[in-house]
């Protein structure tokens, strides 16, 4: 019954907050507020209240026999023209966990959280509410953000009762909980589980990222008059480096610990059909779950680019754009998650998360684990986002098992 009720709630929310183009629950806007008001009504049905912290995160607490607390949650906001499951699946499953325990106090306290502005779709800063609660948000880095219409983040927050200068108080509010575990159910948003024909996966952590711009500098020259061996073609050096980086990625991949790397931007100068490119800039985004593997991939790519540059008689410079360390999840919670998934589905595939999630912000503060439901065709952040209903049901049941196992573990620890 439980899983069917979660799916019915998801469909009800989708019908209230979607257009023909998909979900429209953009953070800090009217449709998002409508979704949260609807959710508050669902919480009231089980006799509980919603409270809001200094960052606009919504909390519901169900006191247990112990003050030790298991946090369950995700986010109700979506990208424009988004899907019906991203964030909401985790929210409705967490609500169902509260419902399941509302008639008698659970062994440990259960707290539900709806993080504000996970997507960052409007102002470009993802994980806003959870990073404020984690204490990792730097106010000065977001103070001047505006959306496409020119509305300032600080004003959009104020419209929702959040004062940017006091957003860090959310950290104290989280610290006041005796939090011992954070559990988040989410859709995979990628094709791995579907390709294995599995409903549910155990998430090992979120990828670390090394993101750089590489600038190859050779010499622009006439394409008709310059013999091939005499050229200093910056593009060909970049292209050979891109191919080599793919080999480096494949070499560092292990079963269950895949890594990824992507060249997403390539610019050449002077960009004339009759000129040998004298300059080529290219982006390289490398991701891995293991910090040593990520460091090795980065070193290998750097050495390869320098060797290839020499072979092509060009120079190469690296500039870091962004990086984040991997956030591995708690080994004991991963084990409980594996048990829960195996009991429900007969198997427990393990996989890393390529996308970041609010869960990553909780990793420095408490044991964390996530569970993934398969994504049809790997699609997300679009109206085609879906999971086959039998997979949804199995995954929701596995998640509720994980909540119970974690409550018992935390109470007895
Ligand atoms: Zn999400």
Alpha-carbon gap, residue 183 to 362, rounded angstroms: 10
Question: How many other C-beta atoms can be found within 10 angstroms of the C-beta atom of residue 211?
Answer: 16
- Helix axes of 30-45 and 2-17: crossing angle, nearest 10 degrees: 150
Ligand 1 centre to CA of 138 (Å) is: 22
Ligand 1 centre to CA of 359 (Å) is: 10
Sign (positive or negative) of CA dihedral 30, 34, 39, 41: positive
Ligand 1 centre to CA of 229 (Å) is: 51
- Per-chain residues with Cβ under 5 A from ion ligand 1: 86-87
pLDDT digits (tens, 9 = 90+) for 281-320: 999 999 999 999 999 999 999 999 999 999 999 999 999 9
Element (H, E) at 177: none
Read off the pTM. 0.91
125: closest CA among 99, 113, 143, 111? 143
Give the torsion through C-alpha atoms of 153, 159, 165, 171, to 10 deg: -100
pLDDT at 95: 98
Ligand 1 centre to CA of 252 (Å) is: 28
pLDDT digits (tens, 9 = 90+) for 223-267: 999 999 999 999 999 999 999 999 999 999 987 678 999 999 999
Alpha-carbon gap, residue 359 to 204, rounded angstroms: 12
Alpha-carbon gap, residue 24 to 35, rounded angstroms: 10
Ligand 1 centre to CA of 200 (Å) is: 16
- The single residue listed with the structure tokens 């998002």 is 32
Tens-digit pLDDT string for the chain (413 aa): 799 999 999 999 999 999 999 999 999 999 999 999 999 999 999 999 999 999 999 999 999 999 999 999 999 999 999 999 999 999 999 999 999 999 999 999 999 999 999 999 999 999 999 999 999 999 999 999 999 999 999 999 999 999 999 999 999 989 999 999 999 999 999 999 999 999 999 999 999 999 999 999 999 999 999 999 999 999 999 999 999 999 999 999 987 678 999 999 999 999 999 999 999 999 999 999 999 999 999 999 999 999 999 999 999 999 998 888 999 999 999 999 999 999 999 999 999 998 889 999 999 999 999 999 999 999 999 999 999 999 999 999 999 999 999 999 999 97
DSSP state letter for 365: T
Alpha-carbon gap, residue 123 to 117, rounded angstroms: 9
Ligand 1 centre to CA of 269 (Å) is: 38
Ligand 1 centre to CA of 254 (Å) is: 26
Ligand 1 centre to CA of 177 (Å) is: 24
Residues 6+ apart with CB under 8 A from 329: 203, 204, 205, 359, 363, 367, 368, 369, 370
Ligand 1 centre to CA of 382 (Å) is: 12
Ligand 1 centre to CA of 83 (Å) is: 10
**Is the distance from CB of 390 to CB of 199 less than 8 angstroms?**
yes
Q: Is the peptide bond before 270 cis (omega within 30 degrees of 0)?
A: yes
176: closest CA among 258, 69, 278, 100? 69
| Pairing assessment for the beta strands 22-23 and 275-276 based on DSSP bridges | unpaired
């Amino acid at each position: 019954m439980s899983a069917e009720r979660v799916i019915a709630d998801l469909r009800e929310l989708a019908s209230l907050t979607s257009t023909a183009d998909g979900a429209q629950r953009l953070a800090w806007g009217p449709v998002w507020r409508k979704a949260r008001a609807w959710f508050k009504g669902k919480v009231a049905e089980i006799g509980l209240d919603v409270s809001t912290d200094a960052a606009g995160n919504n909390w519901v607490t169900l006191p247990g026999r112990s003050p030790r607390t298991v946090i369950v949650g995700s986010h109700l906001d979506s990208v424009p023209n988004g899907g019906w499951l991203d964030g909401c699946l985790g929210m409705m499953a967490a609500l169902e966990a509260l419902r399941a325990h509302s008639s008698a106090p659970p062994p440990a306290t259960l707290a539900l959280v709806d993080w504000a502005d996970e997507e960052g779709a409007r102002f470009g800063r993802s994980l806003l509410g959870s990073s404020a609660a984690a204490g990792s948000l730097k106010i000065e880095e977001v103070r001047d953000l505006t959306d496409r219409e020119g509305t300032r983040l600080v004003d959009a927050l104020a419209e929702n009762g959040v004062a940017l200068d006091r957003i860090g108080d959310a950290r104290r509010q989280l610290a006041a909980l005796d939090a011992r575990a954070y559990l988040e159910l989410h859709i995979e948003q990628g094709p791995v589980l579907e390709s294995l024909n599995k409903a549910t996966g155990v998430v090992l952590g979120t990828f670390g990222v090394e993101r750089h711009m590489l600038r190859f500098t050779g010499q622009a020259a006439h394409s008709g008059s310059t013999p091939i061996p005499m050229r200093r073609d910056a593009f060909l050096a970049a292209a050979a480096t891109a191919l080599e980086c793919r080999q480096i990625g494949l070499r560092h991949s292990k079963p269950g610990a895949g890594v990824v790397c992507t060249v997403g931007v390539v610019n050449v100068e002077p960009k004339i059909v009759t000129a040998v490119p004298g300059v080529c800039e290219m982006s390289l985004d490398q991701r891995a779950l293991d910090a040593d593997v990520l460091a090795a991939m980065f070193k290998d790519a750097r050495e390869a680019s320098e060797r290839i540059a020499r072979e092509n008689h060009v120079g190469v410079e690296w500039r870091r754009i962004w990086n984040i360390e991997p956030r591995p999840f708690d080994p004991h919670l991963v084990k409980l998650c594996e048990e829960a998934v195996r009991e429900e589905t007969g198997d427990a595939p393990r996989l890393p998360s390529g996308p970041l999630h609010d869960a990553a912000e909780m990793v420095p503060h408490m044991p964390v684990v996530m569970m993934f439901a398969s994504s049809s065709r790997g699609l997300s952040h679009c109206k085609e986002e879906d999971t086959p209903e039998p997979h949804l049901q199995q995954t929701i049941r596995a998640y509720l098992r994980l909540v119970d196992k974690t409550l018992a573990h935390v109470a007895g620890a």
